[in-house]
Structure formats: structure tokens, C-alpha cells
């Protein structure tokens, strides 16, 4: 094979990429709009099957692992550790057409295009559709990525249940997977993992540029707050004598949001669930239990926020004659992504004519789980822009990573090839205007859904 230079064009099949995004968006499409592809459901199976077909069509070596992640692989001539890219295939109810799907389709397109253009690489390249990230069905999340990263919890397949009471293990068996073998999905040979993901916050949308390179993933703590008061008759008990647990919890929820607001961006705190007891129309609630999700990329600031939340809850409880108990359900520290890989992504963006924004990701994403196993980085793309750009960024970064293993490092480091790269990327953006319109529905839906959820 002839030597590869960074000036060579690597075309992607843009129409195919867009067609595939539309194809995935049909699998689990809800009549009311949005998509629902819960883990191990028929819609999920259908999506995984079609991704495996695309990988086979491209001539990749396709493998479904023990939890259902689907991998497509090019065997590198020198072997060694793997460079991989992908994202999750599951969606929450009413999810957008690009959430997860973009990272999967772009990875398949990037690896396939490199394979078709250059044949065998020196390094092993893989693309992957991760089976679950979103907590889309069971009371667990990052199931697929945690399996790869050897971070499954003992007994999880029997403990985690969906809304109908089915266990994760039962759902696995329904799609031909054996829960007893889940731990064999672990991969100890990943060197680099890149995830392309749509932005789920407003920063790129409001301030630009079109691309972000994520350098840190915020740490997440989940708290459970139980407030105890006195259940009383809603008619007989005077207002000024009540110890209403729900009113106490409500005041705490406002104070918690205030604490995050006072700390300022990127601190966030969210009361996401609340339950009251005895939960009767004519009874003053004697107990209220709610959850708090709180995040900050700086570990000390995050601890400070958790302390402030606890102090505020205790103060309100004492003012209202209530008791409060705070339990930590989950505590995931912030993750710093590989500077080596984020630098490659940044340079690829610059070569394509975009100086990317360095970002902290508030959402966890697949890559957070891999941080202990591989050099991980991610690009976040602005969701408002038209989509064709995004495919090219994935290709660019994969190509750069591919290049780093195959092309001379001096050439990679040289910025003189930038205009040629930009030309390459621009060349693959073109698409007839009418076709663009045909896709608008899904993508507009992504933005609208995010706005509703903001």
C-alpha cells in the first residue's frame, strides 16, 4: 500500500450516514414524537441488528459481547492495544434521534471509510454500539460501558428491575444473552476511546463555536433526603400546629437550587424524585423522601456544595420541627480525560477550520466509565447546527488517531496540512438542500426536547 499523507482526502458517504441516522430513528419511534429504545427491548434489538449489518457490509469483523455491545473491528497489522469510537444505542423515553445514535453511526462511518480507503491499518481500530447508558429501562445505568470497564456490581443482573418488575437477567435471557457470563464483556486492550456526542446543555448552542472538546467530566453525587414530620388530619389540624414533611421538603428543594445558583456555573443540583407518605388527599404528609443529583467538575467545590445542601436541609428541618436524614446513594468523582487524546481532537478541529471550545461535560457518558481503562476523549457537537458537519468531525478525529499510528509524527504535527484537511472536511458536507429538509424533523426534535427539559 502506498504511504498515507495527511493531505489525502478521506471521503465519507454522507448520504449513507444520514440515511442511517434516519433508519435508527425509526427503531423505537413513538407516535407522539421522540424515540424510546429501552435496553433489550424489540426496538433495541432491531437497532443493534441493523448496526451489525452496517458493520458487516463494510467488511469489519463483527462481534456481539456478553452484554450485547456490538463491536466492528479492523485487525491492525501490528496488533497492540485498540483505538475505539462509539456511543450508546439505547434512549430514554422521548429521546432525540441524535443522542447516542450520532456517535454510533459516525464511528461506523469513520472506521469503515478508513478501511475502504486505506485497507489494513497498523493499529487495531474498532467501532462500537454500547448497549446501555441511559438508565432507559432498569434502575441502573452505564451497564454496557461498565461491563467493558470491569465495573459491574455483584448480583446486579438479579437486583436491577424494570418498571414491570422484570430483572435485568431475565431481559438478557429474552435476547439470547446469559447473565452469568456478563463479566466476560470486559476489555483490557483499549488504548483510546473517542465518543462523539450531541451537546446536552446550551453552551455551544448559545455561545458557539460548533465544536467542543470535553476535557473533564463532572463528578456526580446522588443523595436521598428523608424528612420526617407528623401525619395529621387535613381538616382537623390547624395550619400553625402542623409539622408537614412535604412543605419542609419543598423549602429544602428551593434552598438546594439556590445553593447551586450561588456557587455558579458549572455547579448544578437537581431534586428529581419525591414521594410522600401516607400520600392521601386528606392527610398532612408525615414523611417526604426526595433525591438530589449534584455535580461539579472540581472535587473540592462539589464537596462544598454537598455540605451546603446538608446545612440548608438541617436548618429548614429545625425551623419547622422536622427531622432530616441524608444518605449518599452514589458518589462518582470527576474524571479528567486524556490530554494526549484531547490534544489530537483539538488539532483536528483546528485543521478543519474550527477552534473548539474546551468543555466540562455535566453528563456522564460512556467515556466516563472507560477512564480507568483507556485514554479517553470526547467531542461534543452543537445540536442546533445542521448535522452533516458532525459526521466529518468523527472522521477527522478517527483519521487523526489512525494517522498518529501510521503516519510520521512530524507530518501529523505539521500545521501546513491544515488547509487540505479543511478542504477534505468541507468536501464531505455537501448535500442537496431538499434532502436536508427531510431530516429536519428529527433534529429539530432534539433541540426542542432539550429546551423542554432545561
CB of 314 to Zn ion, least distance (A): 36
Query: Is 199 a residue that touches Zn ion (CB under 5 A)?
Result: no
Please say which residue, 231 or 445, places its beta carbon nearer to Zn ion. 445
Please say which residue, 44 or 290, places its beta carbon nearer to Zn ion. 44
Please say which residue, 88 or 406, places its beta carbon nearer to Zn ion. 88
Please say which residue, 272 or 434, places its beta carbon nearer to Zn ion. 272
CB of 195 to Zn ion, least distance (A): 9
| Pairing mode, strands 357-361 and 287-296 | unpaired
Query: Is 99 a residue that touches Zn ion (CB under 5 A)?
Result: yes
- Stretch of residues binding Zn ion (CB under 5 A), selected from 77-85, 99-107, 313-321, 413-421: 99-107
Cβ atoms of 235 and 249 closer than 8 Å: no
Sign, CA torsion 95/99/105/108: negative
Query: Is 14 a residue that touches Zn ion (CB under 5 A)?
Result: no
Cα end-to-end distance, the chain, whole Å: 51
Please say which residue, 243 or 367, places its beta carbon nearer to Zn ion. 367
Please say which residue, 74 or 102, places its beta carbon nearer to Zn ion. 102
Among 68, 100, 212, 362, binds Zn ion (CB under 5 A): 100
| Pairing mode, strands 124-130 and 82-88 | parallel
Please say which residue, 134 or 417, places its beta carbon nearer to Zn ion. 134
Q: Tell me whether residue 297 is exposed, middle or buried, using C-beta atoms within 10 angstroms of its C-beta: 0 to 12, 13 to 18, 19 or more.
A: buried
Strand partners, 270: 293
Strands (E), 229-350: 232-233, 268-277, 283-284, 287-296, 323-332, 335-336
**Residues 217, 346, 407, 429, Cα dihedral to 10°:** 110
Binding mask 49-88 for Zn ion (x = CB under 5 A): ----------------------------------------
Cβ atoms of 246 and 285 closer than 8 Å: yes
- Stretch of residues binding Zn ion (CB under 5 A), selected from 65-73, 93-101, 204-212, 262-270: 93-101
CB of 95 to Zn ion, least distance (A): 8
CB of 335 to Zn ion, least distance (A): 16
What Rg value do the Cα atoms of the chain yield, rounded? 24
Separation of alpha carbons 195 and 282, rounded Å: 51
- Stretch of residues binding Zn ion (CB under 5 A), selected from 96-104, 155-163, 204-212, 223-231: 96-104
- Residue with grid cell 446522588, as numbered in its chain: 222
Kindly state the cell numbers that stand for 80: 497492540
Cis amide prior to 277 (ω within 30 degrees): no
- Stretch of residues binding Zn ion (CB under 5 A), selected from 51-59, 94-102, 157-165, 240-248: 94-102
Please say which residue, 68 or 86, places its beta carbon nearer to Zn ion. 86
Separation of alpha carbons 255 and 402, rounded Å: 50
- Stretch of residues binding Zn ion (CB under 5 A), selected from 91-99, 147-155, 173-181, 353-361: 91-99
CB of 92 to Zn ion, least distance (A): 9
Residues making contact with Zn ion (CB under 5 A): 99-100
Amino acid at each position: 500500500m502506498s504511504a498515507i499523507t495527511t493531505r489525502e482526502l478521506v471521503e465519507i458517504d454522507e448520504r449513507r450516514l444520514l440515511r442511517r441516522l434516519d433508519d435508527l430513528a425509526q427503531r423505537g419511534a413513538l407516535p407522539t414524537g421522540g424515540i424510546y429504545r429501552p435496553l433489550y427491548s424489540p426496538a433495541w434489538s432491531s437497532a443493534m441488528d441493523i448496526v451489525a449489518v452496517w458493520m458487516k457490509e463494510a467488511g469489519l469483523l463483527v462481534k456481539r459481547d456478553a452484554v450485547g455491545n456490538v463491536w466492528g473491528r479492523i485487525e491492525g497489522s501490528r496488533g497492540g492495544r485498540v483505538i475505539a469510537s462509539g456511543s450508546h444505542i439505547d434512549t430514554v423515553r422521548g429521546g432525540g434521534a441524535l443522542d447516542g445514535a450520532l456517535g454510533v453511526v459516525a464511528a461506523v462511518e469513520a472506521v469503515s471509510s478508513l478501511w475502504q480507503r486505506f485497507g489494513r491499518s497498523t493499529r487495531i481500530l474498532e467501532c462500537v454500539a454500547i448497549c446501555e447508558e441511559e438508565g432507559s429501562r432498569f434502575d441502573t445505568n452505564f451497564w454496557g460501558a461498565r461491563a467493558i470497564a470491569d465495573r459491574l456490581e455483584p448480583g446486579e443482573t438479579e437486583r436491577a428491575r424494570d418498571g414491570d418488575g422484570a430483572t435485568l437477567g431475565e431481559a438478557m435471557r429474552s435476547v439470547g444473552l446469559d447473565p452469568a457470563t456478563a463479566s466476560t464483556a470486559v476489555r483490557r486492550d483499549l488504548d483510546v476511546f473517542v465518543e462523539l456526542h450531541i451537546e446536552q446543555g446550551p453552551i455551544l448552542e448559545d455561545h458557539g463555536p460548533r465544536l467542543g472538546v470535553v476535557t473533564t467530566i463532572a463528578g456526580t453525587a446522588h443523595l436521598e433526603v428523608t424528612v420526617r414530620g407528623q401525619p395529621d388530619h387535613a381538616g382537623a389540624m390547624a395550619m400553625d400546629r402542623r409539622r408537614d414533611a412535604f412543605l419542609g421538603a419543598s423549602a429544602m428543594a428551593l434552598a438546594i437550587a439556590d445553593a447551586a445558583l450561588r456557587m455558579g456555573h458549572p455547579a448544578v443540583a437537581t431534586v428529581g424524585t419525591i414521594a410522600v407518605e401516607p400520600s392521601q388527599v386528606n392527610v398532612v404528609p408525615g414523611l417526604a423522601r426526595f433525591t438530589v443529583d449534584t455535580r461539579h467538575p472540581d472535587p473540592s467545590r462539589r464537596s462544598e456544595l454537598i455540605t451546603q445542601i446538608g446545612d440548608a436541609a438541617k436548618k429548614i428541618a429545625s425551623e419547622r420541627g422536622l427531622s432530616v436524614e441524608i444518605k449518599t446513594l452514589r458518589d462518582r468523582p470527576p474524571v479528567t480525560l486524556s490530554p494526549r487524546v484531547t490534544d489530537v481532537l483539538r488539532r483536528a478541529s483546528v485543521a478543519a477550520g474550527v477552534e473548539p471550545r474546551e468543555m466540562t461535560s455535566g453528563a456522564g457518558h460512556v467515556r466516563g466509565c472507560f477512564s480507568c481503562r483507556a485514554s479517553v476523549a470526547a467531542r461534543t457537537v452543537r445540536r442546533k447546527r445542521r448535522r452533516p458537519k458532525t459526521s466529518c468531525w468523527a472522521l477527522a478525529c478517527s483519521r487523526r488517531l489512525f494517522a498518529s499510528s501510521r503516519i510520521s509524527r512530524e507530518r501529523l504535527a505539521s500545521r501546513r496540512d491544515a488547509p487540505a484537511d479543511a478542504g477534505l472536511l468541507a468536501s464531505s458536507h455537501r448535500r442537496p438542500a431538499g434532502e436536508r429538509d427531510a431530516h429536519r424533523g428529527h433534529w429539530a426534535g432534539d433541540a426542542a426536547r432539550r429546551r423542554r427539559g432545561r
